[in-house]
Amino acid sequence: MLGPRRAAAGVSESDRGGSRRERLLASALWGFARSGYHETSVDDIVARARTSKTAFYDHFASKEACLAALLEEQGGALMNAVQAAAQGGRDHRERLRRGIAEFVRRCDQDADLGWVLLVRSVGLSSQIEAQRLSLQSRFASLVAAEQRLSDDGPSDSAAQTFAWAVVGAVGEVSRQLLRSGADAGAAAAVLGQIFAP
């Protein structure tokens, strides 16, 4: 079964030092990325986090609620990083290239998050799809805002269409990089040339 390229023994020592909730989320991320959502049980999550089922249910109503929290927090942090990287650009093209590169780089470097966000969580439930769409919409809004600053000043509809094309392409390329292990930097550069020449 395809899964993250980076092997790990479980939740790291630094993760064990965090709060119970952080340990549970780290354990869930690890399990969902490597084995998949359905194959990772709450028992697996609590064993790896070195805590109890009672602790799990103190924080999350269900395994699905745990995944939703994971996507909200980790996906939100990813979008914050994309936005911060883009802000360092001199103009709208460089900001777009930097944002794209940051998304691709982060999904490559944190392969567990990449696998859960782009592969393992797809189509699981309406709640999880809503969470994924929220993250994609945030990314699209960032792209559309930059596109509106372009020289030709596209209409709002054109900027939105362009933005969703970027989000779709960047997501698919990142997904393929996770599977193939190809050079993320080179792929990000090509995406930048295509969307922000």
How many other C-beta atoms lie within 10 A of the C-beta of residue 106?
Answer: 21
Among residues of the chain, what percentage have pLDDT more than 90? 82
Amino acid at 153: G
Q: 67-90 pLDDT, tens per residue?
A: 999 999 999 999 999 999 999 999
**CATH of 63-195 among 3.40.50.20, 1.10.357.10, 3.30.300.30, 3.30.70.20:** 1.10.357.10
**What is the pLDDT, as a whole number, of residue 3?**
53
Among residues of the chain, what percentage have pLDDT more than 70? 90
CA angle 180, 5, 112 (to 5 degrees): 110
Helix, strand and coil in the chain, % to nearest 5: 75, 0, 25
Q: 172-183 pLDDT, tens per residue?
A: 999 999 999 999
**CATH of 13-59 among 1.25.40, 1.10.10, 3.40.50, 1.10.3470:** 1.10.10
Using alpha carbons, list the distances in angstroms from residue 55 to 18, 20, 33, 42, 50.
Answer: 14, 8, 22, 11, 10
- 103 burial type by CB count under 10 A (0-12 exposed, 13-18 middle, 19+ buried): buried
> What's the average model confidence in pLDDT over 122-138?
95
Domain range summary for the chain, segments of one domain joined by +: 13-59, 63-195
Q: 5-51 pLDDT, tens per residue?
A: 443 434 444 444 469 999 999 999 999 999 999 999 999 999 999 99
